[in-house]
Amino acid sequence: MPNQTVTLRDGQQALIRPLTTSDTRLLYRCFRGYGEQARRNFAPHPFTREIAEDICSQADDQRTSQRFLVVRGAPPKEQPLGYAFLWFLDQEIPSLGIGMVDAAVGRGLGRCVLEFLLERARELGHRRLWLSVMERNARARALYESAGFAYYGEPRWSENGQGMILRMEKVIAPVEGGEPG
Ligand SMILES: CC(C)(COP(=O)(O)OP(=O)(O)OC[C@H]1O[C@@H](n2cnc3c(N)ncnc32)[C@H](O)[C@@H]1OP(=O)(O)O)[C@@H](O)C(=O)NCCC(=O)NCCS
């Protein structure tokens, strides 16, 4: 699976790379980099050490999910900037998620990570992707709208009652011999 070097708005470089079975410490550090607002807007699962361990222990099994870290620096001094994933890869329309740590928000990384996930899903042969976003998450919605994601279906309340969730979808590859749709 490819690594991708990306350049932030301030000229610094970061690396998007697959999560590995030895990334528990780094992933948990990433989780701890999410402040209150990020946790209210991005809650794919609890951000505990146990969950980080569990996720990393399954990093080699990529049938249903592929997970990535965004890092700065080289081992053993990598700094986590974010975590991203493709989920439901065994289904026709997989889902994506992106969570940059507070210190990495607003630096143009979200778009790079999003493009990376779209390309990865295309390589895996998928034609559409979906995601969930909190209605109040203006930054994320601006990013997804500008990347061509459109709202799909009715908004619904989150299970924890923390706000309205919107579903967005994007066609990422045309139908062979036909119109995208
Ligand atoms: C949401 C997230 C992925 C966006 O990535 P990012 O690198 O921080 O994005 P940027 O700051 O570059 O902003 C993306 C776009 O939104 C715009 N934007 C920023 N803040 C905004 C706001 N408050 N209202 C509307 N638009 C906003 C930016 O101008 C930018 O558009 P541009 O590239 O055309 O200028 C990232 O902030 C993040 O992970 N946040 C915490 C967790 C989270 O909310 N995850 C998403 C769950 S769905």
Q: What is the pLDDT of residue 177?
A: 65
The pair of three-digit structure tokens given for residue 46, joined into one six-digit string: 């609890």
Length of the chain: 181
Tell me the pLDDT tens digit for each residue of 33-86.
999 999 999 999 999 999 999 999 999 999 999 999 999 999 889 999 999 999
CA dihedral 94→99→100→106, nearest 10 degrees, is 80
Ligand 1 pocket at CB < 6 A: 38, 41-42, 98-100, 105-111, 133, 137-140, 142-143, 146
Distance CA 56, CA 20 (A): 6
Q: What is the pLDDT of residue 1?
A: 67
Write down the H helix ranges in 4-149.
24-32, 36-41, 49-57, 109-123, 138-146
pTM, two decimals, is: 0.95
- Domains in the chain (CATH in brackets) are 4-125 (3.40.630.30)
Distance CA 132, CA 14 (A): 25
Pick the residue whose CA is nearest to atom 27 on ligand 1. 139
Distance CA 165, CA 155 (A): 6
With a cut of 90, say whether residue 93 has pLDDT above it: yes
Most confident of 114-118, 157-161, 162-166: 114-118
| Residue 67 CA, ligand 1 centroid: distance in Å | 20
Backbone angles phi, psi at 87, to 5 degrees: -120, 165
